[in-house]
Amino acid sequence: MAAPQDCIFSLCVDPIKVSSCVEVRFIDKIKGKGLFAKKAIKKGDTIFVERPLVSAQFLWNSLYKYKACEFCLHALETAEENARRLSGIPCLSLPHPELCKVHPELHQACPQCQVMYCSNECRQAAADQYHRALCLGSSQEDPNHPVNKLKDAWRSMHYPPETSSIMLMARMVATVKQAQDKGHWQKLFSQFCSRAANEEEEIAHKMLGEKFQGQLTLLRTLFTTALYDDHLNRWFTPEGFRSLFSLVGTNGQGIGTSSLSQWVHACDALALTSQQREQLDSFIDQLYKDIEKETGDFLNCEGSGLFLLQSACNHSCIPNAAASFPNNNFLLHLSALSDISPGEEISISYLDCCQRDRSRHSRHKILRDNYLFICSCPKCVSQMDELDLTSEEEGEEEEEGEEEGEAEGDEMEDEMTDV
């Protein structure tokens, strides 16, 4: 179902437009705020569409030629170009190329630094919000430029898959720098979840690894050299930088875009004969096999963003809503997974489908380690009588998963380099 017009956060308007579908309420000191339905919402309905306050493509993702609009993260490759690169088959031709919704003729570059945008509207929107403060001009490829030094340091500390990006923080600073009403933007950013100092250190530890304290100090030094502003001096102190880092790590929502994926979905909707459908499905199946062999799991243009409404959604192991990005850009669609009554809290899951199927103890371990809370959703409450420890079999699976994760971590750079 299409989103109600008054719920859409347009590229052309203030992203903090109030939706008539939902409201944010304070719950308690432990859970903080939550998002609640103001009226009945049916399963499958789009609850709202929201644009982020800031967003950024992951730095590793960009380095390995996943081309995305510098503002809205819209994939810039055509579906055919995307398929050729991911499969390693340079002469590949896609059937039904007219289904691709990427329009290279509309793409525009920043006249100074040449970063690319999907349209003049996005180029202008970026310039108006933050890009003038971050544009490197002719120094775009200069490794000694302070912003490039910051990017290089982040990549060296945070191998893919990234969970957030130092550039979200940079764009927060640049947005305030450029704003006429600086207090307005500072107030907006202050509405995201904040943490106590010890929790912020735990988040930094998770994001940067064992030597996080030294890494955090180096990042802050580089961040300050590249972006310092008197209006934001508290963000550049050790405590303020750690708090900013925690804000992005806790609230950053992953964004994925793909022209190939959009093309595949458009193919699914074609009216074809059974023979034509079989041939097309066979072609797509083989294409994905070729991509898996060549590229692995790194399929999409990926980044993260700070979404004010979405960030108010608390976790549940049985969520009644889920986020997606069907427009192939940074517009987040929150859709109902079940009927939602007026006054009911709207919840999403911080876990993927496989993680949600694991035991209560395993789910709690993931949430505690990565989000620093213990879940008390109805599913967890109903499973309170389960043993506090995972079964021996699940424990063995977890150890194997961790070992595989470490091995995958070693292989990830190779996979990305192959792209």
Give me the tens of pLDDT residue by residue for the chain, a chain 419 residues long: 333 333 333 343 344 444 678 999 988 877 788 999 999 999 999 999 999 999 999 999 999 889 999 999 999 999 999 999 999 999 999 999 999 999 999 999 999 999 999 999 999 999 999 999 999 999 999 999 999 999 999 999 888 877 778 999 999 999 999 999 999 999 999 988 766 666 777 777 677 766 677 888 999 999 999 999 998 999 999 999 988 988 888 889 999 999 999 999 999 999 999 999 999 999 999 999 999 999 887 789 999 999 999 999 999 999 999 999 999 999 999 999 999 999 999 999 988 888 888 988 889 888 887 777 888 898 999 988 876 655 444 554 444 444 444 444 444 333 332 22
- Of 246, 218, 223, which is closest to residue 174 (Cα–Cα)? 223
**Sequence-distant (≥ 6) Cβ neighbours of residue 5 within 8 angstroms:** none
Whole-number pLDDT of residue 18:
44
**CA pair distance 321, 319, nearest whole angstrom:** 6
* pTM for this model (two decimals): 0.84
Residue 211 sits at the vertex; the CA angle it makes with 252 and 156, to the nearest 5 degrees, is 65
Beta-bridge partners for 41: 340
Helices 212-227 & 197-208 angle (0-180, nearest 10): 90
Helices 212-227 & 238-251 angle (0-180, nearest 10): 100
Residue 253: φ, ψ to 5°: -105, 125
**CA pair distance 88, 90, nearest whole angstrom:** 6
Q: What is the DSSP annotation of 325-370?
A: -TTSSS-EEEEESS-B-TTPEEEE-SS-HHHHTS-HHHHHHHHHHH
Whole-number pLDDT of residue 387:
67
> Cis ω on the peptide bond leading into residue 161 (within 30° of 0)?
yes
Place of tokens 């091995």: 407
